[in-house]
Amino acid sequence: MIELVELTKRYGQRLAVDGLSLTVRPGTVTGFLGPNGAGKSTTMRLIVGLEQPTRGTALINGKPYAALKRPLSEVGALLEAKAFHPGRKACHHLRWIAAAADVPAKRIDEVLELVGLTSAARRRAGAFSLGMAQRLGLAAALLAEPQVLILDEPANGLDPEGVNWIRQFMRGYAESGRTVLVSSHLLSEMAETADHLVVIGKGKLIADLPTQDFIRTATKRQVRVRAPEAGRLADLIRLADQQVERDEDGSLLVSGMEAAEVGRLAAQHAIELHELSPQTGSLEEAFLNVTQGASEYNTSPAHTDVTTAGVAGGNQS
């Protein structure tokens, strides 16, 4: 388990992490999201002792990283893809880490096979592609079979097969009762992988809740309706003081009513329905809605309207 209590990190006048408090629990994959410059990487470095907090604490299984007796057995981290000597062979890179962590040498072959690098074990790591470097970094993080796994953009450079593999791996690791914290800008992948989301912006907590709850609360809920008498149904919906709009394909998008309510209204007026389906927003839409104004680096606005929705704050764990 990872616990952050009022975690704060300041670099001169810049506040990178601002009073961050949250708990990352075992048994779930927790996605760590935020715009560029939000403080995600700094937070991860604070957790594993690569940075010292200005104020507050970061605990792994109840202790600061520096107080862990066998840190690599407690927490494995992949924070930078190419954190190895380029002239060293992959197996040699893992060998010195295993020796430092008092891990049996046979474990090296196990993790190389696990991440799909057995055939590249004796190749120099400097010649690795980004995807292969990510796999080697993950192998190093897994050497001592840690209870906590922290991954920063682990799918960068992976091909589709690799992305699918890392997704299944993280889910399996969490299901075994371990803690997984993963940062990624691949929001569609996070929607498939993460059970829980922590979203930050400008170093502050924006949201901390289950993935589906986050999407539901941060996007516009609508019901799609197809009917031969769509115009008459739309008039009835407006008479009920609810919002309805016509989509490009001719269907109706109803806001403010549940699907059952729309169906009941249609039945009362003998209107035939060809489709009646709740519409769920995407994680990308939800993320953009809640992080507007929370990015350190703002691009020019797109030529489409984005509806802003609120998110229920507070730790739901």
Strand order of the β-sheet with 179-183 is 75-78, 148-152, 179-183, 29-33, 196-201, 204-210
Tell me the per-residue pLDDT of 88-140, one tens digit each, with 9 for 90 and over.
999 999 999 999 889 999 999 999 999 999 999 999 988 999 989 999 999 99
Q: Would you say residue 58 has pLDDT above 80?
A: yes
CATH of 220-279, one of 3.90.1150.10, 3.30.70.980, 3.30.420.10, 1.10.8.60: 3.30.70.980
CA distance linking residue 139 with residue 90, whole number of Å: 10
Of 244, 281, 276, 279, residue with least CA distance to 260? 276
Tell me the per-residue pLDDT of 218-271, one tens digit each, with 9 for 90 and over.
888 889 999 999 999 999 999 988 899 998 889 999 988 889 999 999 999 999
Task: Specify the pLDDT at position 303.
Answer: 42
Rounded to whole angstroms, the maximal C-alpha distance in the chain is: 76
Grade residue 204 by pLDDT with cuts at 50, 70 and 90.
very high
Share the mean pLDDT of the chain: 89
Residues 6+ apart with CB under 8 A from 187: 33, 282, 283, 284, 287
Tell me the per-residue pLDDT of 257-302, one tens digit each, with 9 for 90 and over.
889 999 999 999 999 999 999 888 889 999 999 998 766 655 555 4
The residue whose two tokens read 């502050």 is 204
Domain with CATH 3.40.50.300 in the chain: 2-216
Average pLDDT over residues 300-316: 41
Task: Specify the pLDDT at position 159.
Answer: 87
Tell me the per-residue pLDDT of 174-186, one tens digit each, with 9 for 90 and over.
999 999 999 998 8
Task: Specify the pLDDT at position 222.
Answer: 86
Half-sphere exposure of 62 (CA within 13 A, CB side): 1
Q: Would you say residue 144 has pLDDT above 90?
A: yes
- Per cent of the chain over pLDDT 70 is 92
Whether 206 and 223 have beta carbons less than 8 Å apart is answered as no
Classify strands 222-226 and 204-210 as parallel, antiparallel or unpaired. Answer: unpaired
CATH 3.40.50.300 for domain 2-216, yes or no, is: yes
CA distance linking residue 54 with residue 43, whole number of Å: 12
Task: Specify the pLDDT at position 309.
Answer: 35
